[in-house]
Structure formats: structure tokens, C-alpha cells
Amino acid sequence: MKRLVGAWLAIVLVSSTGNPARADDKDPQPILDKAIQALGGEAKLKKAESATWKSKGTITFNGNDNTINIHATVQGLDHYRAEVEGEFGGNEVKGVVVLNGNKGWRKFGEKMEMDEDNVANEKRGIYLQVIPMRILPLKDKGFKVEAAGEEKVGDKPAVGIKVTPPDGKTFTLHFDKESGLPVKLVAKVVGFGGEEYTQETLYKDYKDFDGIKKATKVQSKRDGEDFLKGELTEFKTLDKVDPKTFAEPE
């Protein structure tokens, strides 16, 4: 049971100023620039390349809500560690997921090294968590960004971008038209067993953490069904991360 839930949880862990861009504007850069300013500015977001945070919430699994607490640390887009505690079907679950470049491990009772596909899925999960938090990676050459028009998120207008990351699997990210803050992400994700879902994530209740604005409430649906409701409780940037953080779990 713990091994099954652990593998499934690992996949789970794989989240201004100026005038807004017009819906027919094909240049996404004004949208990105406004978002960067809204989140705290380029200097602050550069410092968030390495960061740590804590969150709590519920995950819906087989129609049941299960509690979960996560302490995560990230460095760039390919180094990540998440320590997980939760209760699933009355069973306490505790474990860790680690990504270190092209290697990764999961330990939920029994340790398992990730294969190539699982490493790729974990990296994609980091893209989907970190990019709405920092935006800056979208200016790198490895990411292709296109304007994606406007739509309403809730009852407010939002402008969108279509992102093609290095793995070639596109996703869309929408920003509140007035504030510039990220409000919705839509992406294809792979669930336990290899099935593919369309995951829609909403970002709400932004708060300031030492000059960086972070959504403190996140809600995800998969194919329209409730999947994750999370609340951020702590967030801070790190000047450096001990390399042992991303070492193979003992």
C-alpha cells in the first residue's frame, strides 16, 4: 500500500505596471515582463532560483480526500527534494522524492530509483511548479513562448501564453489582465499507471514573502475532477543549497 501511494504521490509532486498585452498581440514579452514585475521584479525572482517552502492540503484519490504535508526545496529546474507526510485510507504515509539532474529516487518505505521516463515526468512537474512562481525561465532559449489570447478566469479577464519547454510538451499559462499575476495553468500530465490527464490549476490569494508574491492557495482538477487543494504556509529563497539535499536518500 505504501509503495503504491508513494509512487502516486511522487507523480503529484511532479503547480505590474504598464499596459496589458492586447488579445491580438502576437508578442508575449509584454505579458512576461508585466508578470515578472507583479511577482516582485527580476532581481528578487533571480534569488528565488533556489527556494524552500512548506504546504498542506488534501489530495483526492479514488474519490477520497487525503491529507498531505509537503516540505520542498528546489534549485533551478532539475534539482528538487520533497519530504511528504500524509494519511491515505487510514494509513500514515511518509517519504521523500529527490531529483538530481538526470537521476531521481523515491523512498516511501522502500527506496526506488527512477527510470528515464519517471525522471522526465518529474522534471516536467518541476516546470509546472516553478515557472508560475518565477516566470524568468521562460526567457531562456530552451523555452518557446507564444501569445494565446484572452479568456476569463473566474469573473476576471486574463491574458494567456502558450509555452513549449525543452521536452516539447506544451502548456498554457494565464495572467490576470489587471495585476499581471499568474492565475491559471493548463497542462497534460501523466498519472500513476501512465494514464494522461488534462490538469487545470488555479492560483489564488497572493501574499508577499520578503518581496516575492506567492499564491497561497492552489487548486487543481484533472479532467474536470477535483485532484488537489493546497495552502502555502512558508516560503523563502536560499542563497545556496547543501548538495546533500539532492543526494540519493539513505
Query: Tens place of pLDDT for every residue, the chain, 250 residues?
Result: 455 445 445 545 544 333 333 444 578 999 999 999 999 999 999 999 999 999 999 998 888 899 999 999 999 999 999 999 998 878 898 999 999 999 999 999 899 999 999 999 999 999 999 999 999 999 998 999 999 999 999 999 999 999 999 989 999 999 999 999 999 999 999 876 778 999 999 999 999 999 999 999 999 999 999 999 999 999 999 999 999 999 999 8
Q: CB-based burial of residue 18 (10 Å sphere; 0-12 exposed, 13-18 middle, 19+ buried)?
A: exposed
Question: Mapping DSSP to helix (H, G, I), strand (E, B) and coil, where does residue 10 land?
Answer: helix
Number of domains in the chain: 1
* pLDDT at residue number 61: 81
* pLDDT at residue number 102: 95
C-alpha grid cell, residue 45: 525572482
The neighbouring-strand residues paired with 107 are 96, 111
Identify whether 205 is part of a domain.
Answer: yes
* pLDDT at residue number 238: 97
Q: What does 69-123 look like in DSSP terms, one character per residue?
A: EEEEEEETTTEEEEEEEEEETTEEEEEEEEEETTEEEEEESEEEE--HHHHHHHH
- Rounded distance, CA 17 to CA 40, Å? 11
- Give the residue among 72, 95, 94, 68 at the shortest CA–CA distance from 82: 72
Question: Mapping DSSP to helix (H, G, I), strand (E, B) and coil, where does residue 55 land?
Answer: strand
C-alpha grid cell, residue 175: 495572467
Identify whether 128 is part of a domain.
Answer: yes
Write down the H helix ranges in the chain.
2-12, 29-39, 42-47, 116-134
User: Using one digit for the tens of pLDDT, what is the confidence trace for 195-234?
Assistant: 899 999 999 999 999 999 999 999 999 999 999 999 999 9
Identify whether 250 is part of a domain.
Answer: no
Identify whether 32 is part of a domain.
Answer: yes
User: Using one digit for the tens of pLDDT, what is the confidence trace for 42-56?
Assistant: 999 999 999 999 999
First to last CA, the chain: 21
Identify whether 242 is part of a domain.
Answer: no
Identify whether 184 is part of a domain.
Answer: yes
CATH number of the domain residue 7 falls in: 2.50.20
Domain of residue 192, residue span: 2-15+21-224
Length of the chain: 250
Identify whether 238 is part of a domain.
Answer: no
Ramachandran area for residue 61 (φ above 0: left; ψ -120 to 50: alpha; else beta): beta
Identify whether 186 is part of a domain.
Answer: yes
